């Protein structure tokens, strides 16, 4: 796959930028989505991540000619978005655990005061992050597909 971008006068030709963006989207969206899906294990989150990647590309459209390796740039942005997602998911999980623990303690105090039997929260309904891959899985997945990560 070539990373050649035709010369565009970014100040004068917004339509040409739109066409180039559409072409880049068509060429890269499916592979980026497949990788994001494999890493997040969620169609919804994978779609959100890809949308954020291409939104960032659109915001940088005036500087497309300065990106020397478009594929590497897109994969790097996606890698950063996936890592952000994994961090947020881990933080959300810790927050949920903390809320459940505090709620359990408060319930215990209430139960002791009321002299009633303790009710356990159903933790099975909580989101699990144990199935999410680490950031190293992302890099290994890219290398397995024969792609390179920029450093």
pLDDT at 51: 95
φ and ψ of 60, to 5 deg: -100, 10
pLDDT, tens only, 82-124: 999 888 888 877 777 777 777 776 666 666 666 655 555 565 5
- pLDDT tens by residue, 10-54: 455 888 888 988 999 999 999 999 999 998 888 999 999 999 999
Classified as helix, coil or strand, 60 is: coil
* Contact between 3 and 68 (Cβ < 8 Å): yes
With cut-offs at 50, 70 and 90, classify the pLDDT of residue 1. very low
The CATH number of 14-84+132-144, from 2.60.120, 3.10.450, 3.30.420, 1.10.1740, is 1.10.1740
Which pTM was predicted? 0.57
Higher local confidence (pLDDT), 132 or 50: 50
* pLDDT reported for residue 151: 47
pLDDT at residue 141 in the model? 65
Transcribe 25-89 into DSSP letters.
Answer: HHHHHHHHHHHHHHHHS-HHHHHHHHHHHHHHHHHTGGGGGG-S-HHHHHHHHHHHHHHHHHHHH
pLDDT for residue 22: 92
Per-domain residue ranges of the chain: 14-84+132-144
**93 burial via Cβ count (<10 Å: 0-12, 13-18, 19+):** middle
Residue 2 has pLDDT above 50, yes or no: no
- Reference 126, options 105, 86, 95, 85; nearest CA is 95
């Amino acid at each position: 796959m070539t990373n050649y971008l035709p010369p565009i006068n970014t100040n004068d030709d917004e339509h040409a930028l739109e066409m180039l963006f559409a072409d880049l989207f068509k060429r890269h969206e499916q592979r980026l989505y497949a990788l994001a899906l494999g890493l997040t294990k969620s169609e919804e989150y994978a779609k959100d991540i890809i949308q954020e990647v291409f939104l960032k590309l659109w915001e940088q459209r005036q500087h497309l000619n300065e990106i020397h390796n478009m594929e590497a740039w897109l994969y790097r942005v996606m890698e950063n978005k996936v890592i952000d997602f994994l961090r947020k998911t881990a933080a959300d999980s810790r927050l949920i655990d903390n809320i459940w623990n505090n709620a359990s303690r408060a319930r215990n105090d209430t139960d002791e005061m009321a002299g009633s039997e303790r009710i356990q929260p159903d933790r099975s309904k909580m989101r699990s992050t144990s199935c999410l891959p680490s950031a190293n899985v992302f890099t290994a997945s890219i290398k397995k597909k024969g792609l390179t990560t920029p450093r």
